[in-house]
Amino acid sequence: MKRGFLEACVLAAVCGEESYGYRIVEDVPASMGLTESTLYPLLKRLEKAGCITVRTAEHNGRLRKYYRITEAGRERIEEFLAAWPSVQEIYRYVEEAQS
């Protein structure tokens, strides 16, 4: 389940404008525990799925990859948000079980 949340957060981080790895890690809520070692495989999966595009540009003498959301990525966010009522139902169930 956390993987789905991480994916949605990374897509949201590149939703408004393109971004790069370190900045994405900084932008995603700290409570997600996103690190560069978990981010880059996730970015590769999102690229392979057509959810993001990647371009390389020089920055301060080094090559940096910039990521941008695609229409498929926006659809993935919509699917994530549509599942929210089901997630809430599961949380309520677990919470009530503790009472």
List beta partners, residue 62. 59
d(CA 68, CA 54): 7
Q: What SS3 state is found at 17?
A: coil
The pLDDT assigned to 1 comes to: 66
- Structural domain boundaries in the chain: 2-97
pLDDT, tens digit (0-9, with 9 covering 90-100), for 2-36:
678 999 999 999 999 999 999 999 999 999 999 99
State pTM to two decimals. Answer: 0.88
Q: Domain spanning 2-97 has what CATH number?
A: 1.10.10.10
